[in-house]
Amino acid sequence: MFQPLRIEHLSVAYGNARVLHDVSMEIPPRRITCLLGANGAGKTTLIRAVVGLTPPREGSITFDGIEISKLPPHRTAALGIACIPEGRRIFPKMSVQENLLMGAYLERSKSKVRASLEKVYNLFPRLAERREQAAGTMSGGEQAMVSIGRGLMHEPRLMIVDEPSLGLSPALVNDNFRIIRAVLEAGTAVFLVEQNVRQTLAVSSYGYVLAQGRVTACGTADELKNDPQVQKAYFG
């Protein structure tokens, strides 16, 4: 069991534009922790800082006791953090199978890669049917499956999920939530950003609300559901 992902006094900026101010959070193992916030609140920026794509200006990020705020993305990936990035970011000209294999890029054991592939294909039979197709020619829902499947191939200790359901039909969104719950049951910690607040809180144990780059509320899922600020913003 690893120690939580701990974010302390984090500040992140793009050039001169400061986007996150003094953000602190904790993402514990074996739980789904969610991050709520309007568009432009800084959710994706926070995730980019955690995985190493946008190094923070100030503050610390530790994972399993290791300071990761200055590590490049391939090093945080090697620590067992998988990211399903905003916009899905599949490799459009690679086949579905190659996309999934990229997810297991750091795994040296061929038999483990095969086993993960098997698992992902069982979870998404649709991808098994289309394994040779160029991922960029698939529908939005299928591309979301590729992106999620690719993250699962990583067999991560922490899975960071940034709105894979954006623009999908309610049925497909439900599928994604089912998968996320399955990931949790496999023992992985999940840090979840999703548009659908009701469903997000239903699967989460704990959550944070981000507004204009600051944490404005946090609590258990039930506390957040009854929080006047959340009520007003999302259930109003």
User: Under the rule (CB under 5 A), what is the footprint of Mg ion?
Assistant: 43-44, 86
- What would the DSSP string read from start to end of 14-62? ETTEEEEEEEEEEE-TTSEEEEE--TTSSHHHHHHHHHTSS--SEEEEE
- The answer to the question of residue 73 lying near other proteins (CB under 8 A) is yes
Among 78, 186, 212, 235, contact with other proteins (rule: CB under 8 A): 78
By CB under 8 A, the residues from 99 to 128 that bind other proteins are: 101-103, 105-106
CB of 228 to other proteins, least distance (A): 37
Count of positions on this chain that bind other proteins (CB under 8 A):
26
- The answer to the question of residue 123 lying near ligand ADP (CB under 6 A) is no
Q: Kindly tell me which of 19 and 82 has the beta carbon lying closer to ligand ADP.
A: 19
Q: How far apart are the first and last CA of the chain?
A: 39
Residue 26: partners with Cβ closer than 8 Å, 6 or more residues away: 4, 5, 6, 7, 33
Among 33, 154, 158, 197, contact with other proteins (rule: CB under 8 A): 154
Q: Kindly tell me which of 80 and 85 has the beta carbon lying closer to Mg ion.
A: 85
Nearest Cα to Cα of residue 71 among 48, 90, 91: 48
SS3 227: coil
Q: How far is CA 88 from CA 14, 101, 110, 124, 173, in A?
A: 22, 16, 26, 16, 14
Q: Kindly tell me which of 52 and 207 has the beta carbon lying closer to other proteins.
A: 52
**Sites of contact with other proteins (CB under 8 A):** 51-53, 72-74, 77-78, 82-83, 85, 89-94, 98, 101-103, 105-106, 134, 150, 154
